Amino acid sequence: MIEVSEEAQSAIQQMIRENEGSNLFLRVGIEDGGCSGLSYSLKLDDELSDEDEVLQYESFNVAWDKRSIEFLEGIKIDYTNQGMVGGFIIDNPNARTTCGCGASFRTATYRGKSQKCD
C-alpha cells in the first residue's frame, strides 16, 4: 500500500488541473541511479499497462508497476512548501540507506546502480 498525505494529494490535484488532463494519474516508480543506487520517479501519466497496480483516491489515481512494489510497499508520499520552493518527500520503510538529499536509496536486498548525483 502507498499512502499519500493530504498535502501531497492537493499538490497532485493541482498538477493535474494545470495539465488539463482528466485521464492523468500519478505514476510512482524506481530507477537505477542516484548516489545510493535507486532513485524515485514521480510523474503524471495517462496510460496504464497490464503490469500496473492502481490505488484510487477521491480525485486521482496512483499507479506503479508490479515489479516495483517490493521497493515501494508502505511508502508515504508527502509534500512540503519551504520558503519559495516545495517538493515531494518520500518516507520509505524499505530503504536501508539513503543519500543526503533523500532522492535515492538502497534496500537490504538490492543495491541498484549508484551514479553521481547532479
Strands 95-98 and 104-107: antiparallel
Going by the DSSP 8-state scheme, the letter that residue 6 receives in this structure is H
The predicted-structure confidence for 2-30, as pLDDT tens digits, reads as follows: 999 999 999 999 999 999 877 899 999 98
Write down the pLDDT at residue 110: 55
| Residue 52: all three cell numbers together | 500496473
Q: What is the mean pLDDT of each run of 10 residues along the chain (118 residues)?
A: 94 92 89 74 94 93 91 93 82 77 60 56
Domains, the chain, ordered by start:
3-107 (2.60.300.12)
Task: Return the pLDDT at 100.
Answer: 62
